[in-house]
Amino acid sequence: MSLDQSADQHYRDRVARVVAHIVAHPLAAHRLEDLAAIAHFPPFHFHRVYSSIAGETVAATVRRVRLALATRLLEQGGQSITQVALEVGYDSPQAFTRAFSQFTGQSPRAFQRDMHRLILDPGAANAHAKAEQTLAVQIVERPAQRLHALRHQGPPSTIPHTQRRLYLQCGQRAVHRLGASCGDPQDLGGSFRYYAAVVLPEAPSAADNGLERLDIPAGLYARHTLTGPYSRINAALAAIHTRWLPASGYEPDDRPTLEHYLNSPRNAAQADLRTDLLIPIRPTTSL
């Protein structure tokens, strides 16, 4: 690693400590002076350093972490919109609704309704028919694929930082943008790994610092094309695993789960985002 690359990584590690602190304490005041002290940067320059590394302001990170928490609370149910708004630090449901709508492309009530419709009560009448209609899963075969990726460090709520780093690094060279994940996203200290990945038309150069090569084997996948914000991805994957897979005649394989981003928030509204969710499968074996 060159001196410049080492210095860049040192800066990223210091900013990562700040992000980890924000994620661990989403409702704290997060004064710039306190965050600068965590990163050991002078307060006067900290906001510029943070924005250049993270790709967004501290305030934007705090807002996104709190709204990511709100999506989980809305998925769980049991609380009103007002209760969720207060729990994630908003003074009124109106302010929360405006911020949440900008974040996900729909209102909190519509998001909660859609999540409850997606994750149906397994004991509900005619649940299997409803699951097939909602999930629209196809079985597809994909060839082996070589990806180049940045491994994400930190909780899932900060994955956009890693995707932004990859975009700045690869820019328009990327033929396809993907996410590759292994393990349970709730298991932050153990099995979960996520990579922001691209397909490049040619091998990366020496300037592509930090890119890892991921060789994805050929095989079968359960594919569901999700329309809407990325905040719905985890709920959709959970629904496929719990409702579609057991009766499908297939079982999970040990290849990574893939997210193929068919468009981008840079050129599409949140409600118009399209993502192919690809769960690796194989025919169920009899025991």
User: What is the model's pLDDT at position 224?
Assistant: 94
- Residue 100: closest CA among 67, 61, 69: 67
Alpha-carbon distance 26 to 10, whole Å? 24
pLDDT in tens, the chain (287 residues): 444 556 667 787 888 888 889 888 888 889 889 999 998 888 888 888 888 878 788 888 898 889 888 988 888 778 889 999 999 999 899 999 999 988 887 889 888 887 776 654 444 334 443 444 456 899 999 999 999 999 887 777 778 888 888 888 887 788 899 999 987 766 555 678 899 999 988 877 655 667 889 999 999 999 999 988 888 888 888 888 878 888 889 999 989 999 999 998 888 888 889 999 999 999 987 65
**Residues of 47-70 as b/e, b for ≥16 C-beta within 10 angstroms?**
bebbeebbbeebeebbbbbbbbbb
What pLDDT score does 256 carry?
93
pTM of the model: 0.69
Instruction: Answer yes or no: are the C-beta atoms of 61 and 54 closer than 8 Å.
Output: yes
Q: State how far the Cα of 112 lies from the Cα of 91, in Å rounded to an integer.
A: 20
51: left (phi over 0), alpha (psi -120 to 50) or beta: alpha
CA distance 169 to 187: 29
